[in-house]
Chain A
Amino acid sequence: MSSRKKTLLKVIILGDSGVGKTSLMQQFVNNKFSHQYKATIGADFLTKEMLIEDKNVTIQLWDTAGQERFQSLGVAFYRGADCCVLVYDVTNSKSFENLSSWKDEFLIQANVKNPDNFPFVILGNKIDLEENKRAITTKKALSLCESLGNIPYFETSAKENVNIEVAFDIVARNALQQELENDAEFNEDYSDAINIHINGEQSGCAC
């Protein structure tokens, strides 16, 4: 049954304001980059169809505002997440230091069942900027990722489309794994959902 079901993977992208969350999402989904993205207010999402292990999945990426106080809104979108992407800006050490609090915040707010097993991916963005602006070395980043529980780490450039596909492929794989685990728990609910749907379906359209 689950092999036939269309899978929706919900992914939350978090990180300090201005690290490039919107840009990463736009590059991955729409293959474009612009300097003109405005600061995200509220929340928005993009979806993309992907093929993961011969399975068609829809990945739904949620983008929220980076300033902390607006996270009380973001919370609404954390629930039911299958994976969380934490982003920092390699030229901004503060955004790096905040990674672990973003992670903790997410786990608390999303009310995840198995916090130890919940998949995260960390992205160090803006590697296109000059080397001398870089504040966080790859080594430092890797050691943090290890200490946070062997979180997969990628260095990306949303601007020049570096490592984006690769990173989101891992995001989707991990999310799918998580979704399948959740799926098993919710299996009972599905048969109901199907029947309700079939009965409510309307055919044709007046035109």
Chain B
Amino acid sequence: MGTHKNTLQSQEKSPNLSNGGSLSDAVTNPLSLTKSNDNSNDNLNINLNNSSPYNSLRKKKISTYPPGKAKLLWTKSKVYIHLTKNKSDNISGFLSLIKVYPTSINNEILLTWFPESTLSNSNDRAIFESCDLYINLNQYKSNYNSNNHDNHNFPNSFNTNKKKVFFINSSILQSMGAYSFQTPLSNIFSIQARVPSLGWWWGSIIINSRSQFDTFPILFFHDDESISTQKEQKFKNKDFNPFSSNNEGQLFWGGDQFFTILKKYILVERSSLDSSFFLINPNSDDLNYTKLVTTDYKSINKNDPNNQGANNNNINESIEKIRHTLQNISVNKIVTSAKWTILESLARVSMLAKSKVDELVEENPKVKALLNKPEVVKINNDFDTARVYLAKWALAISEQAEKNKIDLILDKNYQNLLNKELGGNFSNLSIQEISKIHRRKEISPVEWSSFFDSNGNLILTVNEVKERIFHGGLNETIRSQAWLFLLDVVPWDSSTFERNQIIKSLRSDYQHYLNLWKIDIEEKQKDEYWVDQKFRIEKDINRTDRDLSLYKNPKKSSTQKDKQNQSHNKDENNDNDNDNDNDHNDNDDEEHNISNIKNEHLKNLREILITYNEYNQNLGYVQGMTDLLSPLYYIFQDNALSFWCFAKFMERMERNFVRDQSGMKNQMLVLTELVQFMLPELYLHLEKCDSNQLFFFFRMLLVWFKREFEFNDTLRLWEIFWTDYYTSEFHLFFALSILSKHEVIIKRHLRQFDEVLRYINDLALTMDINDLLIRSELLFLRFRRMIEIIDRENDMKERAKMYKVPNESEVETEVETETELENDINNASTSNNINPRINRINANRISKTKTFKPSEQKKPNESTSDKKNKNYKISESLRALLSKEIVVQKEVEREPGMGGG
């Protein structure tokens, strides 16, 4: 920080610096004394230093450009715009700085973005790509050299003194494709950066124009695809110095490269009001304002932490001061203009989905804070801890979990053992580990039929087929065949003929249950419970997946498929049948009129559920079942088959719906155990947030993530769960994978029950199913290995006790299994082999096992020697997760007169 201090001093001496106006205010303000410790002003000195290359650049001799060419100063590939939430709508492009004219008269540098597809000419593209690599890495190299004396880590090609210059055809600037934009640097008011660490997979920038009429899309840096970013990351890792204070917590991302280069060409000033904001060529008013407020705000936070009781008055005074300040400057330029620029850009970036925009405002606390005149609101908000209390049964779960906790969270000896054998920190999945695994292609109809011989007998083993389905899923056209097997409606070891026989008898069985209510419907209408159930069903089918065209009201005459179905579906409501041809004009209200369901498929759903109410009288209909039936019906569009698939599916789902909710409670309890076992740090954090009972998983577990994913993703997910390939409880590992994926954000940003619930609920329809499936598979494999290792360890201890062998070697045994996990899965790899640096650190850690002091999770009354001899006992419920046997829990008998609620 030495240079920083100097800068400050020099500023204080020369308050006439263009941006020094604020300092005179700051100096007169007694609260600003703490300012010299404030890191966020680092940029200031960088800017001052960097202004010199900017000036010298102008003075350089002006050479002429080749005719028709413009100079590409910098570019970056794989910068995306996200048109919608849907990945396939993302457009990859180049973000570039281009200088069109060499003259000082027209010295404008353009910032442009255009889609990759614009560069149809492969030469052009090659220029951009090599410029991307060359400039960015040179940039890093020169920074690196200024900080380090030796540069042995650099490949020779970067040691060349001769600077490459990149020229592109000016015509590119005229022919940029849709969505592209270009703007002179001087036209940019500010750039807001969101680094990936804020909870976003990709870092992004928002460019705000000085003109109210220019809006630019949000640019996402897909660092995982960008070669230059990855290379630089690699260099950085090589140079990684764990003792350097500069590196702490700073995640390197593509935006860093952008800002580094930008600073060479224009003054970039980080707003100290909101450190994600960078003002471009700001005038003194802007700076003045931001500094003033920040000074006040920061100094409040730095109120003497040791003086706990006495400073309420101070705080109140300070709040008053801020309030006062904000009131007086409410017309200040930055508020009006920054706020408006943001609002305008958000509102008018019409190509972005509305949801994306909401997300941006909602989830970026910074933007929101700025919009609401932040500091006052924020401080006041935080004083109010919105307490959310635990429910009775949640309390019971928490208590039970609390009891188990000592045993459930692994002690350090076991943790070290697991770290050693599994590589890295056992509870973290590394990016490398995940990126090594790919999901396979879905099973095509051709592949599917190759699994059977000419009689329709399976020629693979059941396990082989399940493995294939587990890793790839099924093409939609073969689901109607394959799901019958997966749901155990027909046996795997049957021929086509046998299956046809079975299906035939299932159809007549269905007819039997159907007749139970349909034949004497008038009698049924007298049964209050039955009428109630029917009403519930109707209410719910009316609001299940109505966005699918299958379930919308018919606008024209019935489709062919409908006609096919009508053979099995003589509708009970004959009075409605005639309506079908008359409802061309039905409006939205009609579509949702419960008493007058017109869509044939909705009628079929109703029929199936009423029949199920007859078939499983104890359970009947419970909310959520429509969500389970709808995908089955969508695939089969055949009442009898849908019914039997549903009935079979319900065998394992019944426990979710029982009246006393014990099935849900049990699963959530097992899940909490699993989180403690696999993600202990996260568990402790959730405990602090009153969220360790994992309420937020209720919806996901109840209907197997149906509400969290797009319809087609749900189909894929379910067929994978149905395989029971690793375990019949794979859905719990899938839930775990969601937590694992969001662990960092949850730990860093979420503090309260309602915040956690909000965050998890809002993940709906944003999650990538394949990513999570890979994670859940890795988590399961890791879980299985952990149990093996612990069992083996306990076994060793037992034997050691029996033979009274001193248990010296208990940690240092059997390393030959180290690569087993790796072999468990194609191409899967532990971080062990990938990151030698981490490996070295681990090796260190293990060699010091005995003196290693854990910094977290230390329980107060826990003495190490006690723990050491105590075996960690894997709970039965955790061990049961290794079973492929379906867990069945039936509803207890319904007493006469009991309602269906």
Contact present for B698 and A6 (CB under 8 Å): no
CB distance from B411 to the nearest CB of A (A): 28
Q: Which of B124-132, B297-305, B669-677, B872-880 contacts A (4 or more CB under 8 A)?
A: B297-305
CB distance from B495 to the nearest CB of A (A): 41
A81 nearest CB neighbor, chain B only: B389
Q: Which of B340-348, B541-549, B557-565, B737-745 contacts A (4 or more CB under 8 A)?
A: B541-549
Q: Which of A38-84 contact B (CB under 8 A)?
A: 38-39, 41-45, 60, 65-70, 72-80
Q: Which chain A positions have C-beta within 8 A of B40?
A: 203-205
Decide yes or no whether A10 CB sits under 8 A from chain B: yes
Decide yes or no whether A147 CB sits under 8 A from chain B: no
With A17-B539, A60-B386 as contacts: A75 and B392 at CB distance below 8 Å: yes
With A45-B758, A201-B301, A207-B193 as contacts: A4 and B319 at CB distance below 8 Å: yes
How far is it, in angstroms, between the C-alpha of A43 and the C-alpha of B696 when the chains are bound? 8
Q: Which chain A positions have C-beta within 8 A of B693?
A: 76
CB distance from A83 to the nearest CB of B (A): 15
Decide yes or no whether B250 CB sits under 8 A from chain A: yes
How far is it, in angstroms, between the C-alpha of A190 and the C-alpha of B316 when the chains are bound? 14
CB distance from B221 to the nearest CB of A (A): 13
How far is it, in angstroms, between the C-alpha of A65 and the C-alpha of B539 when the chains are bound? 13
Contact present for A36 and B305 (CB under 8 Å): no
Contact present for A207 and B661 (CB under 8 Å): no
Give the residue of A35, A43, A77 whose beta carbon is less than 8 angstroms from that of B588: A35
CB distance from B889 to the nearest CB of A (A): 14
Contact present for B197 and A206 (CB under 8 Å): yes
Q: Which chain A positions have C-beta within 8 A of B280?
A: none
How far is it, in angstroms, between the C-alpha of A207 and the C-alpha of B591 when the chains are bound? 51
Contact present for B315 and A69 (CB under 8 Å): no
With A45-B758, A79-B388 as contacts: A204 and B275 at CB distance below 8 Å: yes
CB distance from A134 to the nearest CB of B (A): 14
With A10-B386, A36-B547, A73-B698 as contacts: A204 and B624 at CB distance below 8 Å: no
Contact present for A77 and B388 (CB under 8 Å): yes
Contact with A along B680-699 (1 / 0, CB 8 A): 00000000000001011011
Contact present for B275 and A205 (CB under 8 Å): yes
How far is it, in angstroms, between the C-alpha of A7 and the C-alpha of B311 when the chains are bound? 22
Give the residue of B702, B754, B899 whose beta carbon is less than 8 angstroms from that of A42: B702
Classify chain A's interface size.
Answer: 35 or more
Give the residue of A43, A67, A78 whose beta carbon is less than 8 angstroms from that of B622: A67
Q: Which chain B positions have C-beta within 8 A of A76?
A: 389-391, 394, 693, 695
Decide yes or no whether B249 CB sits under 8 A from chain A: yes
How far is it, in angstroms, between the C-alpha of A18 and the C-alpha of B381 when the chains are bound? 34
Contact present for A206 and B249 (CB under 8 Å): yes
Contact present for A38 and B544 (CB under 8 Å): yes
Contact with A along B230-267 (1 / 0, CB 8 A): 00000000000000000001100000000000000000
Q: Which chain A positions have C-beta within 8 A of B389?
A: 76, 79-80
Decide yes or no whether A109 CB sits under 8 A from chain B: yes
Give the residue of B387, B624, B761 whose beta carbon is less than 8 angstroms from that of A39: B624
Decide yes or no whether A5 CB sits under 8 A from chain B: yes
Contact with B along A4-31 (1 / 0, CB 8 A): 1111101000000110000000000000
A37 nearest CB neighbor, chain B only: B543
Give the residue of B275, B393, B540, B664 whose beta carbon is less than 8 angstroms from that of A75: B393
Q: Which of B186-243 contact A (CB under 8 A)?
A: 193, 195, 197
With A68-B901, A73-B391, A198-B305 as contacts: A43 and B384 at CB distance below 8 Å: no
Decide yes or no whether A184 CB sits under 8 A from chain B: no
Q: Which chain B positions have C-beta within 8 A of A66?
A: 623
CB distance from A13 to the nearest CB of B (A): 15
How far is it, in angstroms, between the C-alpha of A17 and the C-alpha of B535 when the chains are bound? 11
Contact present for B386 and A191 (CB under 8 Å): no
Contact present for B588 and A4 (CB under 8 Å): no
CB distance from B45 to the nearest CB of A (A): 16
How far is it, in angstroms, between the C-alpha of A41 and the C-alpha of B276 when the chains are bound? 37
Decide yes or no whether B707 CB sits under 8 A from chain A: yes
Decide yes or no whether B567 CB sits under 8 A from chain A: no
Listed residue (A1, A37, A42, A43) with the most chain B CB atoms within 10 angstroms of its CB:
A42
Contact present for B386 and A8 (CB under 8 Å): yes
Give the residue of B543, B591, B754 whose beta carbon is less than 8 angstroms from that of A38: B543
Decide yes or no whether A113 CB sits under 8 A from chain B: no
Q: Which chain A positions have C-beta within 8 A of B544?
A: 38-39
Q: Which chain A positions have C-beta within 8 A of B387?
A: 80
Give the residue of A77, A80, A193, A203 whose beta carbon is less than 8 angstroms from that of B383: A193
Q: Which chain B positions have C-beta within 8 A of A8?
A: 384, 386
With A6-B383, A36-B546, A204-B39 as contacts: A69 and B754 at CB distance below 8 Å: no
CB distance from B756 to the nearest CB of A (A): 12
A68 nearest CB neighbor, chain B only: B901
How far is it, in angstroms, between the C-alpha of A193 and the C-alpha of B703 when the chains are bound? 39
Listed residue (A65, A76, A194) with the most chain B CB atoms within 10 angstroms of its CB:
A76
Number of A-B pairs, beta carbon distance below 8 Å: 163
Contact with A along B375-414 (1 / 0, CB 8 A): 0010011111111111111100000000000000000000
Contact present for B309 and A44 (CB under 8 Å): no
Contact present for B698 and A42 (CB under 8 Å): yes
With A44-B761, A79-B391, A195-B308 as contacts: A69 and B661 at CB distance below 8 Å: yes
Q: Which chain A positions have C-beta within 8 A of B384?
A: 5-8
How far is it, in angstroms, between the C-alpha of A170 and the C-alpha of B82 when the chains are bound? 43
Decide yes or no whether B592 CB sits under 8 A from chain A: yes
How far is it, in angstroms, between the C-alpha of A203 and the C-alpha of B294 when the chains are bound? 10
Decide yes or no whether B659 CB sits under 8 A from chain A: yes
Contact present for A18 and B698 (CB under 8 Å): no
Decide yes or no whether A140 CB sits under 8 A from chain B: no
Contact present for A41 and B623 (CB under 8 Å): yes
Decide yes or no whether A132 CB sits under 8 A from chain B: no
How far is it, in angstroms, between the C-alpha of A47 and the C-alpha of B707 when the chains are bound? 21
Contact present for B699 and A41 (CB under 8 Å): yes
Give the residue of A35, A44, A72 whose beta carbon is less than 8 angstroms from that of B546: A35
Q: Which chain B positions have C-beta within 8 A of A70?
A: 623, 661
Decide yes or no whether B38 CB sits under 8 A from chain A: yes
Q: Which chain B positions have C-beta within 8 A of A207?
A: 193, 195, 275-276
Q: Which chain B positions have C-beta within 8 A of A18?
A: 539-540
Q: Which chain A positions have C-beta within 8 A of B39?
A: 204
Decide yes or no whether A139 CB sits under 8 A from chain B: no
Contact present for B543 and A39 (CB under 8 Å): yes
How far is it, in angstroms, between the C-alpha of A159 and the C-alpha of B199 when the chains are bound? 36
CB distance from B27 to the nearest CB of A (A): 20
Contact present for B312 and A17 (CB under 8 Å): no
How far is it, in angstroms, between the C-alpha of A74 and the C-alpha of B695 when the chains are bound? 10
Q: Which chain B positions have C-beta within 8 A of A73?
A: 391, 661, 664, 695, 698
Q: Which chain A positions have C-beta within 8 A of B536?
A: 17, 67
Contact with B along A140-179 (1 / 0, CB 8 A): 0000000000000000000000000000000000000000
Please give 17 more A-B residue pairs, beta carbons under 8 A apart, in addition to A60-B754, A79-B389: A4-B380, A5-B380, A18-B540, A35-B546, A35-B588, A36-B547, A38-B543, A39-B626, A41-B702, A42-B696, A43-B698, A44-B761, A73-B695, A190-B383, A194-B383, A199-B305, A207-B275
Question: Could you write out 24 A-B pairs with CB less than 8 Å apart?
Answer: A5-B383, A6-B380, A38-B544, A39-B626, A41-B699, A42-B695, A67-B623, A69-B657, A69-B660, A69-B901, A70-B661, A72-B661, A74-B391, A75-B393, A76-B391, A76-B695, A79-B388, A193-B385, A197-B382, A203-B38, A203-B301, A204-B298, A205-B276, A207-B275
Q: Which 9 A-B pairs have the closest CB atoms?
A: A68-B901, A79-B389, A76-B391, A42-B699, A75-B391, A6-B380, A42-B698, A204-B40, A18-B539
**Residues of B with Cβ closer than 8 Å to A?**
38-40, 193, 195, 197, 249-250, 275-276, 298, 300-303, 305, 308-309, 311-312, 315-316, 319, 366, 377, 380-394, 532, 536, 539-540, 543-544, 546-547, 588-589, 591-592, 622-624, 626-627, 657, 659-661, 664, 693, 695-696, 698-699, 702-703, 707, 754, 757-758, 761, 899, 901
**Residues of A with Cβ closer than 8 Å to B?**
1, 4-8, 10, 17-18, 35-39, 41-45, 60, 65-70, 72-80, 94, 109, 190-191, 193-195, 197-199, 201, 203-207
